[in-house]
Amino acid sequence: MLTILAAGSVFFPGLFLLSKRCLRRLPGRRWAEGDAVVVSARLVSSIQAIMASSAGYIIASSCEDIIEDQHWLTSTYILFAVPYFVYDIYAMFMCYWYKMQVKGHEGDNRPKPMCVAISSYLRREFLMVLHHVVMVTVCFPVSVFWRQGKGDYFQGVLFLAELSTPCVCLGKILIQYKQQHTLLHKVNGALMLVTFFVCRVLLFPYLYYAYGRYAGIPVYRVPLAVPWQVNVGAALLMAPQVYWFSLICRGAFRLFRGASRQRPPSGPLPPANGYTALREAERETDTH
């Protein structure tokens, strides 16, 4: 167990640092520190999402009995991925910190102090930070110990929720560089809407449906047939997904409404430091 935790603790921060260093030394285009941090954070999140989704597919497709069947990858990947959520709190703060530093230079040339930045970051990203903390302090012990080896199928399906993350990360990068007018951003936005809705919102009703089919009871009776802790946990996990999906829908509506009123810009692409563009784009959409 400790070996797998240690491997995850090295892998995700190490991948972030390696990616940042490579971007900073990329021949032909040396990225600014802040841009390298932001893109590297998105890259690590996307890689983790691909790994989690792949593990989820393997687990779910291998379990014929959705309650009793077990797969070694379930607990292994949970242990490996737990350090990611700790690392990601730091990575999100670094992205926020560099953005605040640039905004400070744009104004009165006095960047925000670290303590002010941390306080502002926790207020702005409270729900996301809380989500990560709960994943480590609640979901981890529940998934590894409380389940007692049962329900690996459901855990695998939950891993598939990460399928939407690469689209979310790519969307943030495109917004940062003010590429909302491009076809890539529109196609990615459509994929993000579909994958987020299916993999993060419909996922929870599907889990109830799957158990109802297994137990031979109507889906509306499933909440009464499972432990109350399951219902509470599902509700707490689903609530932020519905909230974030509403933000994505609002951002998509504003994007396509704005695109119908304005012609695409014909000037050159923005410079490598895209925080000014990000600041303007945040008025249109702000999703996680």
Is 278's pLDDT higher than 50?
no
Residues 6+ apart with CB under 8 A from 266: none
Q: Is the pLDDT of residue 220 over 90?
A: yes
Considering only 87-96, 129-138, 177-186, 247-256, which range has the smallest mean pLDDT?
Answer: 247-256
Judged against a pLDDT cut of 60, whether residue 287 lies above it is answered with no
Read off the pLDDT band of 245 (50, 70, 90): very high
Q: How far is the C-alpha of 201 from the C-alpha of 57, rounded, in Å?
A: 18
pLDDT-based confidence at residue 101 (cuts at 50, 70, 90):
confident
Report pLDDT for 105: 47
Please name the residues in contact with 187: beta carbons below 8 A apart, sequence gap of 6 or more: none
Contact indicator for 128, 92 with CB cutoff of 8 Å: yes
Please determine, for residue 166, whether its predicted confidence score (pLDDT) is greater than 60: yes
Q: If pLDDT is split at 50, 70 and 90, which confidence band does 282 have?
A: very low
Per the document, the length of the chain is 288
Can you tell me the distance from the alpha carbon of 94 to that of 17, in angstroms, rounded to the nearest whole number?
12
Alpha carbons within 13 A on the beta-carbon side of 37: 16
pLDDT at 258: 65
Q: What pLDDT band is residue 268 in, cutting at 50, 70 and 90?
A: very low
Query: What is the average per-residue pLDDT within 103-123?
Result: 70
Give the pLDDT score at 117. Answer: 83
pTM: 0.83
Q: Name the token pair of 92.
A: 């999100």
| Residue range 134-160, pLDDT digits in tens | 999 999 998 888 888 889 999 999 999
Summarised one tens digit per residue, pLDDT across range 179-209 is: 878 889 889 989 999 999 999 999 999 999 9
Over residues 68-81, the mean pLDDT reads 94
Q: What is the pLDDT of residue 45?
A: 96
Q: Residue 16: pLDDT band by 50, 70, 90 thresholds?
A: very high
Cβ contacts of residue 42 below 8 Å, gap of 6+?
169, 170, 172, 173
Identify which of 242, 204, 250, 203 has the alpha carbon closest to the alpha carbon of residue 223: 204
Query: And the tokens for 149?
Result: 């080896």
- pLDDT, position 254: 77
Mean pLDDT computed over 225-254: 89
Give dist(CA 81, CA 135) in Å, integer: 10
- Which of 165, 242, 161 has the alpha carbon at shortest distance from 203? 161
d(CA 258, CA 266): 16
Share of the chain above pLDDT 70, in %: 84
Instruction: Choose between 87 and 256: higher pLDDT.
Output: 87
